[in-house]
Amino acid sequence: MLSMTDKTKSPAKKPGGWSAVRQELATWSKPALLALIKDLYAVSDVGRDLVSSQCQPGESGEATLEKYRVKIVDQFFPSRGFGKLKLGEARKAVRDYRKATGSLPGTAELLMTYVENGVKFTHDFGGVDERFYNSLESALNELAGLLRGAARQLYPELQDRLSRLKPMTSGIGWGFHDFIKDAVDTLEKDLRDG
């Protein structure tokens, strides 16, 4: 029979996790650690971008940003064919870039790129669906959060681009134009004086 103290004990912590990995890595030689980093670099774009951004921040910055920007734009306006509108892929590009680089200016730029291209797509081709508009609104909300917080100094650079969204959404349904207009006007009011 279990005593009262046995019942209230939390389950044993599972072995593993960062603590266990950290302890193990602390015992590795420098060549072994470099080999692991090389493998991480080779296994994925995000790993490669993470290592590059830490080791060569100035050299790889613009090229890395452009690579992720192209991933976003291609979902709306590929160089060949029609946009596939795989919005999850475009949003993943923003998340992956931010994880790899930690760059707030680049993240803000990619969110702006996402919203601009989505607005241009619906302006050029007409209404899409509620999921599409919700995704654009979510990206604009995320951008607005950055601009109100840690990336506030970037607002003057993006202000004109944000303002151009309002006329492009005029007449678009699903409450999308109203959302864009309100979001841009609120940012203008909140951040006008920097």
DSSP string, 131-145: HHHHHHHHHHHHHHH
**Is 23 a domain residue?**
no
Please, what is the average pLDDT of the chain? Answer: 85
Task: Summarize the confidence of residues 105-130 as an average pLDDT.
Answer: 94
* Residue 52 pLDDT level (bands cut at 50, 70, 90): low
**Is 33 a domain residue?**
no
- What pLDDT shows up at residue 57? 57
- What pLDDT shows up at residue 58? 58
Name the domain count of the chain.
1
Closest CA to 95 of 110, 81, 83: 110
Judged on CB neighbours under 10 Å (0-12, 13-18, 19+), 110 is buried
**Is 136 a domain residue?**
yes
Tens-digit pLDDT profile for residues 133-161: 999 999 999 999 999 999 999 999 999 99
**Is 70 a domain residue?**
yes
**Is 35 a domain residue?**
no
What span, in angstroms and rounded, lies between the C-alpha atoms of 186 and 144? 9
**Is 54 a domain residue?**
no
**Is 17 a domain residue?**
no
> Which two structure tokens, joined as six digits, stand for 94?
């923003």
What span, in angstroms and rounded, lies between the C-alpha atoms of 99 and 28? 25
Task: Summarize the confidence of residues 39-52 as an average pLDDT.
Answer: 70
**Is 91 a domain residue?**
yes
Task: Summarize the confidence of residues 37-64 as an average pLDDT.
Answer: 69
C-beta of residue 110 within 8 angstroms of C-beta of residue 94: yes
Task: Tell me the residue range of the domain where 132 lies.
Answer: 60-191
C-beta of residue 64 within 8 angstroms of C-beta of residue 97: yes
